[in-house]
């Protein structure tokens, strides 16, 4: 941070350039473009990939609203699919049924602790000539078939919101891609559409504007924080996996728990990363209230399926169209998960859950 103040460039500067380089080394991406949020990363990636007004993007019905709103902000239309009930990612069969003549993009979302089935979705995209862009905002460190999340299609994104596995102290995001033409266009769009060199280059403010862009430059303070935390990312990922296993061991066979997350064994080619430990339970809201009374914070992901959000009401979706997503919305609850959490904390959470359900059983 002292170097930032001495340099006098507080965004889009040397620290951002260094972070992009280090993140490229970590992920294996040929190009990393830092922006000011994961949402902007999605919008700019879609624009850079050529999404045209009115074209459809397949999006799972169970995700944060930004997965779908980014499509609208980029000029497209979200076309929703159901999810796989185990991974919470886009269901390939539902995606196949959703393809229409207007569909041009496919956006799998890697949620919580699992990645989408990118082989099946890639095959689907190939059959229909669809562009794959990954909402890999939560999936830093995750790999499938030897490739980091976000690098299986045209590109992907990362979010560095403070709660993420690699979190800043504010908003920040990045686009990952192996395609230089996409990286170049995203880099221009993030800085008002200006061409040429702008990153860590004061005179770049005077560059000609090639197309209307936005102000989505990453702050150097966020980049500096992320550089410092990148060095402990792998140990944090290992710790999250240990805590997830501890939860699963303690919560197994408790009445009222419908589903625990699948804990997979990492290999050289594939690894899932626990960003969130998500369970599905009966009486979800009552359990969340009970945990809150005992000083335990939780999060409900996501109480309303994306197709039923008010902003998408004009699409005319009805209850029952997305059964797996609708079930998850009614039952999913995230428990505390962060690297500094002690096993005693896991025990406390599980004791309250056990007491809640066994007490109800009596």
pLDDT in tens, 293-331: 999 999 999 999 999 999 999 999 999 999 999 999 999
Cα–Cα distance list, 46 to 43, 222, 262 (Å): 5, 24, 31
Tokens 């490229």 correspond to 24
Residue 278: pLDDT band (50, 70, 90) is: very high
What is the pTM for the complete model shown? Answer: 0.95
Quote the mean pLDDT of the chain: 96
Side-chain-side CA neighbours of 121 within 13 Å: the count stands at 30
Identify the pLDDT of residue 247. 97
Identify the pLDDT of residue 267. 87
Q: Does residue 337 sit in helix, strand or coil?
A: coil
Identify the pLDDT of residue 361. 42
**Token digits for 350?**
């599980």
pLDDT in tens, 162-174: 999 999 999 999 9
Strands (E), 26-150: 31-35, 56-60, 77-81, 103-106, 131-134, 143-144, 147-148
Which of 284, 242, 285 shows the shortest CA–CA distance to 259? 284
Which of 72, 68, 66, 74 shows the shortest CA–CA distance to 161? 66
Residue 360: pLDDT band (50, 70, 90) is: low
What's phi and psi for 128, nearest 5 deg? -110, 10
Mean per-residue pLDDT, 109-138 = 97
Q: Are 260 and 281 in contact (CB under 8 A)?
A: no
Mean per-residue pLDDT, 255-281 = 93
Rounded CA gap, 89 and 116, in Å?
5
**Token digits for 194?**
């200006």
Q: Are 280 and 258 in contact (CB under 8 A)?
A: yes
């Amino acid at each position: 941070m002292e170097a930032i103040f001495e340099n006098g460039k507080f965004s889009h500067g040397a620290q951002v350039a260094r972070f992009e380089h280090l993140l490229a080394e970590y992920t294996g991406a040929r190009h990393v473009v830092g922006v000011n949020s994961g949402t902007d990363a999605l919008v700019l990636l879609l624009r850079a990939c050529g999404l045209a007004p009115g074209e459809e993007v397949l999006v799972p019905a169970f995700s944060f609203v930004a997965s779908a709103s980014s499509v609208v902000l980029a000029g497209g239309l979200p076309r929703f699919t159901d999810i796989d009930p185990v991974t919470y990612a886009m269901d390939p069969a539902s995606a196949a049924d959703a393809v229409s003549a207007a569909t041009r993009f496919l956006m799998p979302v890697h949620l919580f602790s699992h990645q989408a089935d990118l082989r099946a979705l890639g095959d689907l995209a190939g059959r229909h000539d669809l562009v794959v862009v990954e909402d890999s905002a939560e999936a830093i460190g995750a790999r499938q078939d030897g490739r980091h999340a976000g690098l299986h299609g045209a590109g992907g994104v990362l979010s560095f919101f403070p709660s993420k596995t690699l979190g800043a102290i504010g908003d920040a995001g990045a686009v990952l891609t192996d395609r230089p033409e996409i990286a170049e266009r995203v880099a221009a769009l993030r800085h008002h559409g200006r061409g040429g060199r702008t990153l860590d280059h004061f005179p770049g403010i005077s560059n000609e504007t090639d197309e209307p862009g936005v102000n989505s430059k990453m702050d150097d303070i966020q980049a500096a924080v992320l550089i410092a935390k990148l060095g402990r990312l792998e140990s944090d990922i290992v710790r999250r996996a240990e805590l997830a296993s501890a939860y699963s061991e303690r919560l197994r066979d408790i009445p009222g728990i419908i589903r625990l997350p699948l804990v997979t064994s990492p290999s050289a080619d594939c690894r899932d990363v626990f960003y969130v430990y998500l369970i599905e339970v009966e009486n979800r809201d009552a359990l969340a209230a009970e945990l809150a009374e005992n000083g335990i914070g939780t999060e409900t992901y996501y109480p309303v399926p994306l197709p039923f959000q008010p902003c998408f009401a004009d699409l005319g979706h009805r209850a029952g169209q997305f059964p797996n997503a609708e079930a998850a919305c009614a039952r999913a609850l995230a428990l505390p998960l962060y690297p500094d959490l002690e096993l005693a904390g896991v025990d406390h959470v599980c004791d309250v859950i056990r007491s809640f359900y066994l007490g109800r059983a009596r």
